[in-house]
Structure 1
C-alpha cells in the first residue's frame, strides 16, 4: 500500500490558528470539529490512519541553513506564499483513487480544500 499526504491549505494573509478559530460562530465550529472527529474515527477504524497533526502558521517558523558551511537560523519560513500547509494526515491507501476518496471526506468535514500527494517510495536496493 502507498502512503499519502493529505494537506489542509490555509490562507497566509489570515494565518488561522486554534485560538483564532474561537472567534467563529460556536455552533459552526462545534459542527466542523465533530465532523473532523468523525472523519478521524473512520480513518482509524479502516486502518488507513497513520498519523496527523496541525501546524503553527509560517510566522512562527525558523529556517535552518548550513549550505554555506556556517549555521544560519532565520526567523522566517523558507518560502513566502499566499497559502501554506496548516495541517495534515498521513494515510495508507491501496491507490490514488482511495486516497482521493479519503480526501473528499476530509474536505467535506472541513468545508475546504485538501491536497493529495503520494509519498515517494524508496528505490529498489
Structure 2
C-alpha cells in the first residue's frame, strides 16, 4: 500500500541553516532515501521551495492566483516521500528514521488513495 510521508518544518529555521548545516542534513536524508530505494519501498520524493515563492489558485472558473499559501501554522509543508509498505507500521518506521535525521521536523503519514506516477521528470530539478 502506498503512503505519503509529508514533511513539515518552520521555514525560518530551515532558511537559517548554513550551507554546511543544510548539506549535512541532506546527506543524512539522502542516505535514508537511497536505502529505501534499494529496498524498493520509495517512490517519488521532493523538497519544495520556500512558501514566499509559492502561489495559490482559488475560486471558480479560471480562479484567481494569489501570493503564497496563507495557513495559520508555525510549520510549513516542505516536502514529501511516497513509500510502499504492506501496512502503516512500515511507513511509520520510515518516518521515524527521517525524524532521527531531522529531529526538529514534523512528519505526517497518510494513506494514498490514488497514485498516478506520471511521466519521469528530469533529475536536474528543472522542467
- Equivalent residue in structure 2 for 1:16, among 11, 14, 17: 14
Contact 1:15–1:57 under 8 Å retained in 2: no
The CA deviation string for residues 40-64 of structure 1, in whole angstroms up to 9 with x for no partner, is 1110011001010111122222111
In the TM superposition, structure 1's runs of 4+ consecutive aligned residues that sit over 6 Å from their partners are none
TM-score (normalised: structure 1): 0.76
**Farther-moved stretch of structure 1 (56-65 vs 99-108):** 56-65
The equivalences for 1:6-85 within 5 A come to: 6-12=5-11, 14=12, 16-17=14-15, 20-21=16-17, 23=18, 26=20, 28-67=21-60, 69-85=61-77
Give unpaired runs (5+ residues) of structure 1: none
TM-score (normalised: structure 2): 0.75
The CA deviation string for residues 75-119 of structure 1, in whole angstroms up to 9 with x for no partner, is 121534221111111111110111111111111122233221111
Shift of the alpha carbon at 1:9?
A: 0.8
Q: CA RMSD in A?
A: 2.3
Aligned to 2:118: none
SS at the partner of 2:109?
Answer: strand
- Equivalent residue in structure 1 for 2:87, among 95, 99, 103: 95
